[in-house]
Amino acid sequence: MKQLPKGKKYHLLQPVYSLNFVNDIFEPDLEGYYHYYNLVHYLHSEKVLDGLHIVFVELPKFKAKNLTERKMQVLWLRFLTEINEDTKRAPKALLDNPQVNEALEIVEESALNDEEMAAYNGFWDWMSREATNKVNMEMTLAKINAIEAERNAIEAERDAAVAERDAAAAERDAAVEKLRQTARNLKAMGLPAEQISAATGLSATDIASL
């Protein structure tokens, strides 16, 4: 699978591992079944080629220590022997195991040609954009709701102020009307305007207009 797009620097390459499962013993003098090799210069062994690694696993030497490891051994052996380019659907036992299922996904991805890989990457790019758009939309809606709530709070505060002002005006008008009615009564009783003004606080002009 292509790892580095054209024009990119080689230091961006990730390490490459060659993993080889061998159904034979080729290192009889070594006890372990796992053999890790680096690539070195043929004449100058101190020169190690970074980034390329070879791993051999000698299957006859591997002995599962418990039931779980024995089950995993069987699953991995099935993976190695049953999965190939003609596989259309992996067995359920392999799909149900998270580690083996992940390996199946990697195999499926690595088998894609350039056009299929472009479509595959395009799909996940689209999924990423959709997720980003969803987050942005949710953030925008949250901001709109916050603005709407703030506007509603301002309008409610304004309406409360208007209602308070109207109530005060109505109370003031009622008090004035009460004084005017008192002035009318006093005027009807024949009291002079000066006394009515002193009793009600109304001006002589107001009293005359009653």
Per-domain residue ranges of the chain: 14-63, 123-210
Helices 67-82, 98-110: inter-axial angle, 10-degree rounding: 20
Output the six-digit token pair for 86. Answer: 């003609």
Q: How does pLDDT run along the chain (210 residues), one tens digit per residue?
A: 455 566 666 556 678 888 898 889 989 999 888 899 989 998 998 898 888 899 998 888 888 777 887 888 888 888 877 777 667 778 888 888 898 888 888 777 666 566 766 776 777 788 888 888 888 888 888 888 888 888 889 989 898 888 889 888 888 888 888 888 888 888 888 888 888 888 888 888 887 887
Assessment of whether the complete model's pTM goes beyond 0.75? no
